[in-house]
């Protein structure tokens, strides 16, 4: 069965960067886009972008250009998202999600809480 296992919670300082991971299993990692989605406390969901691990192609929501960088390691079936120049506005839960279709998010990781605080 498809599983997406994300890395643990992070407490980071303003101005720093953080890299979170999403390890995929149960399917061919290189054949499906991996998406990343942000959820701030009490707020809705924002789509950040996707990476196609098969060739490394990426697409970003313009709002997150320069903030998020998506990469993938085919050897370990792991997708990564690095967030840079962190501010309090980046404090959120971040989910990885795999599509079907390829339009709807059929599989989700459990989420990674990033807290930006000095």
Residues that bind other proteins (CB under 8 A): 43-47, 61-63, 95, 100-101, 103-106, 108-111
The Cα–Cα gap between 104 and 80 comes to: 20
Region label for 17, one of left (φ > 0), alpha (ψ between -120 and 50) or beta (otherwise): beta
> Whole-number minimum distance, CB 110 to other proteins, in Å?
6
> Whole-number minimum distance, CB 23 to other proteins, in Å?
15
Q: Give whichever of 14 and 102 is closer to other proteins, judged by the CB atom.
A: 102
> Whole-number minimum distance, CB 111 to other proteins, in Å?
6
Question: How many CB atoms lie under 10 A from the CB of residue 14?
Answer: 12
């Amino acid at each position: 069965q498809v599983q997406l296992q994300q890395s643990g919670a992070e407490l980071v300082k303003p101005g720093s960067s953080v890299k979170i991971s999403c390890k995929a299993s149960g399917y061919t990692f290189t054949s499906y886009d991996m998406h990343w989605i942000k959820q701030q406390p009490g707020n809705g969901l924002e789509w950040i972008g996707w990476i196609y691990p098969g060739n490394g192609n990426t697409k970003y929501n313009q709002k997150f250009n320069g903030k998020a960088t998506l990469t993938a390691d085919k050897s370990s079936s792991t997708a990564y998202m690095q967030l840079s120049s962190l501010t309090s506005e980046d404090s959120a839960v971040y989910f990885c999600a795999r599509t079907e279709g390829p339009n709807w998010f059929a599989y989700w990781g459990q989420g990674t809480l990033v807290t930006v605080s000095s």
